[in-house]
Amino acid sequence: MSHPRRSAASALLLVTVAVARAQGDVLDQSYVPAALTNGLEVTASQPVTQTFTVGITGQLTRIELARIAQHRGTPTQPLQVDLVTTAGGVPTTTVLASITVQPASVPSSIGPLQLDLRPFAVQGQQGQVLGIALSSNAAPGTQTYAWWGEAPNGPYAGGQVFIQLTAALPAWDLAFQTWVAPVASATGYGTGFAGANGVPSLAASSLPHLGTTPLLLLGNSAVTSTFGALFFGLQRANLPTPFGGTALVQVAASATLSLAPAGGSLPFVIPFVPAFLGTIVDVQGALLDAGAAQGIAFTAGLELLIGP
């Protein structure tokens, strides 16, 4: 049985996400300082690497050298940009993607240079440390390249700069951005509050992909027929309630539903809108249950990450 009015709550919630992501990916890591205090020259004797920590699991789609320029005029040697692995946070020679950039494609004055990683199908895992490694055969003192950022004490906490591959410059960070096409997921979090038959369950019938309508499955801890509600938000919460349970969602929308003794479900409508890709929606259920300490049982939280 469909619930068009109630399922509309999920679609309306997603419409509030206003960030346009027309390319089907989301900005993950970004360090673009307002003030540029220093740059590092990229030459045959000085390769430069900025490491970063992946924040969203998925395919790395783009990287941007947010502040890069030709140095002393137009170089005759190309710029090599490699995405490399790290070991203990230190760059290695293991290359995941490699792009050769001709001199004319590098800004003549300080500006951004964006590079497409899609052909390399690099899969990143949340918490993984990778490196953006720049090198060139341009001889020192000739026309080379300069990558700009902030020093000392660059504030990007997820990585640092290395020269000559492994020599760390911990006071530096160089301007960059990365994008990811996220992997759809449904992950439980937090702790629920028990009713007559334990803590009620909350799950999704399928992963949240664009253009699909997974069911949100709310279990019934009251055993008998009752009424419940699902609360939706774009952020987690951890707030005590007067009913004994903890509110695990910063509520932006809600929907009510009737629960049979076996539980009930609510369609979660995900329109095929690229702007919703990478959106995180947090959900929690509650239901009337005479067996709960204050008459209301709570589920744990369920975090939905919308993928392609």
Q: Out of 5-14, 96-105, 283-292, 297-306, pick the least confident.
A: 5-14
pLDDT at 12 over 80: no
Rounded CA gap, 203 and 281, in Å?
A: 13
pLDDT at 10 over 60: no
Q: Among the three residues 174, 197, 227, which one is the final residue of a domain in this structure?
A: 174
Q: Among the three residues 152, 174, 196, which one is the final residue of a domain in this structure?
A: 174
Q: Are residues 194 and 256 in the same domain?
A: yes
Domain range for residue 86? Answer: 33-174
Residue 231 lies in a domain: yes
Q: Are residues 167 and 57 in the same domain?
A: yes
- The pLDDT assigned to 193 comes to 98
41-53 residue pLDDT tens:
999 999 999 999 9
Q: Are residues 74 and 152 in the same domain?
A: yes
Instruction: Judge contact between 216 and 268, C-beta under 8 A.
Output: yes
Q: Are residues 168 and 197 in the same domain?
A: no
Q: Are residues 113 and 205 in the same domain?
A: no
Q: How many structural domains does the chain have?
A: 2
Q: Among the three residues 113, 143, 174, which one is the final residue of a domain in this structure?
A: 174
Between CA 141 and CA 143, with CA 142 as vertex, the angle to 5 degrees is 130
Q: Are residues 10 and 68 in the same domain?
A: no
Residue type, 244: G
Q: Which residue did the predictor score with more confidence, 94 or 4? A: 94
199-253 residue pLDDT tens:
999 999 999 998 999 999 999 999 899 999 999 999 999 999 999 999 999 999 9
Which of 1, 13, 22, 21 minimizes the C-alpha distance to 268?
A: 13
Mean residue pLDDT across the chain: 91
Looking from the CA of 75 toward its CB, the CA atoms found within 13 Å total 30
Residue 25 lies in a domain: no
What is the CATH classification number for the domain harbouring 42? Answer: 2.60.120
